[in-house]
Structure 1
Amino acid sequence: MKFKPASLFACGLLLSLSSAVWAQFAVEDAEWKESEVPPPPAFDVGKLVIFEVSPNSSLVYGVDPASISISKSDGVVRYVMVASSASGARNVMYEGLRCSTGEFKTYARYSPEGRWSMVSDPEWRPLFGNMPSKHALRFAQAGACDNAALPLSVNALVRRLKNPNFGMTP
């Protein structure tokens, strides 16, 4: 996918603005408690919505829309993320995203043998900082979060992933 210099500048500006908005709203709620995490959902690599993480990445990232859930009780977007290489190798992760704090968590990883392996003691990690997760950050910016808020619905999230300009004013 090729981008014009003006669109790259605009994307960079939007990404930096999103970072500032997240930082502004990333005040930890001392009363917050994560709901019980559902088991990893089924996913279909044939139905992935692909999105670009980095123009220089050798991996292609995608999310099966059927795996996405938005928990209003704890404000977490949960999904199955698939990273595929040109050789066909895949990394599959079941993750959660807290839009209000700009954090993500990996709950489980899918093995080549077709089984989920739960992460022991998963922890929330920042989307920004020294070792950010580029795929989780890009997923949040591409539609999984509406700045620091949850998306209105899974359908709205998927529409934004499929059309990065959805909902943006000219």
Structure 2
Amino acid sequence: MKRHFSGVRASVFAAALLAASAQAAFFDNTAVEPNEYFEEGPEWKELDLALPALPQEGDLLKIEFNNASTNEEFIDGKTLEVGKDGIARVSLVSRHRSGTETVTREGIRCSTAQYRLYAIKNGDEWIAPKTSVWRDIPLGQYKTLRSELYSRVLCKDGFPKKVDQVIKDIRYPPTERNW
């Protein structure tokens, strides 16, 4: 019985070595011919854009999220934009049950499912956050405001929606339309 297991172990080890060498050969530049039609695209670069005016009550569009937030959530329809860099930028207003409000300017990068906080309202002006880096949007079963913005409002199939489509989807959610 011991001989059988040692033989099996030796066979498994030999198979693993064979697979590793095949993988190394595949990734070796001499083993794979270069694709003459492939062109490396330009490196992605985020545009530098100025902050818009603070949201005004008349420009706010209420967003309904099931189980993503207990707050009332709004997007400033006037300052919603999709840049040439592929970033959907939006001013968000969250009204808490206590009556307080949080206003932020954020960007959603649809191609990578990431978000970035650009500014936070402080009094009558925008202020920069302590850190402003791209962070992953959690896309698991637990819904968050940003995961809903990414999956239902601002992006479709890894691309940003057009501004007029976002506004139409907020005013007339696709689940309520007659198709």
Instruction: Answer yes or no: same fold by TM over 0.5.
Output: yes
Q: Do the aligned partners of residues 155 and 105 (structure 1) sit closer, same or farther apart at CA in structure 2, a change above 3 Å counting?
A: same
Q: Which amino acid is 1:107 matched to?
A: Y
Q: Do the aligned partners of residues 63 and 149 (structure 1) sit closer, same or farther apart at CA in structure 2, a change above 3 Å counting?
A: same
| Cα displacement (A) at 1:147 | 2.3
Work out whether residues 143 and 161 of structure 1, in 8 Å CA contact, stay in contact via their aligned partners in 2: yes
**Is it true that 1:98 corresponds to 2:98 in the alignment?**
no
- Measured in 2, the distance between the counterparts of 1:106 and 1:56 equals 19
2:50 is matched with: 38
For normalisation by structure 2, the TM-score amounts to 0.67
For normalisation by structure 1, the TM-score amounts to 0.70
- Count of matched residue positions in the alignment of Structure 1 and Structure 2: 138
| Cα displacement (A) at 1:144 | 0.8
| Cα displacement (A) at 1:119 | 1.8
Q: Which amino acid is 2:166 matched to?
A: L
- Measured in 2, the distance between the counterparts of 1:36 and 1:133 equals 30
Q: Do the aligned partners of residues 119 and 56 (structure 1) sit closer, same or farther apart at CA in structure 2, a change above 3 Å counting?
A: closer
1:155 is matched with: 164
Work out whether residues 97 and 104 of structure 1, in 8 Å CA contact, stay in contact via their aligned partners in 2: yes
Q: Which amino acid is 1:159 matched to?
A: K
Q: For residues 80-135 of structure 1, what are the alpha-carbon distances to aligned partners after superposition, in whole Å with 9 as ceiling and x for unaligned?
A: 00000133210000000100110010011002x222111244101111268x8821
Unmatched 5+ stretches in structure 1? 1-28
1:57 is matched with: 69
SS of match in other structure, 1:159? helix
Q: Which amino acid is 2:156 matched to?
A: D
Q: How big is the alpha-carbon RMSD for the aligned residues of Structure 1 and Structure 2?
A: 2.7
- Measured in 1, the distance between the counterparts of 2:143 and 2:90 equals 15
Q: Do the aligned partners of residues 35 and 138 (structure 1) sit closer, same or farther apart at CA in structure 2, a change above 3 Å counting?
A: same
Q: Please say which of residues 59-68 and 47-56 is displaced more in the overlay.
A: 47-56
Q: Do the aligned partners of residues 47 and 39 (structure 1) sit closer, same or farther apart at CA in structure 2, a change above 3 Å counting?
A: closer
- Measured in 1, the distance between the counterparts of 2:67 and 2:112 equals 26
Q: Which amino acid is 1:94 matched to?
A: R
Structure label with greater radius of gyration: 2
SS of match in other structure, 1:155? helix
SS of match in other structure, 1:142? helix
Q: Which amino acid is 2:170 matched to?
A: L
Structure 1 vs Structure 2: percent identity of aligned residues? 23
Unmatched 5+ stretches in structure 2? 1-40
SS of match in other structure, 2:151? helix
Q: Do the aligned partners of residues 133 and 45 (structure 1) sit closer, same or farther apart at CA in structure 2, a change above 3 Å counting?
A: farther
SS of match in other structure, 1:136? helix
| Cα displacement (A) at 1:51 | 1.3
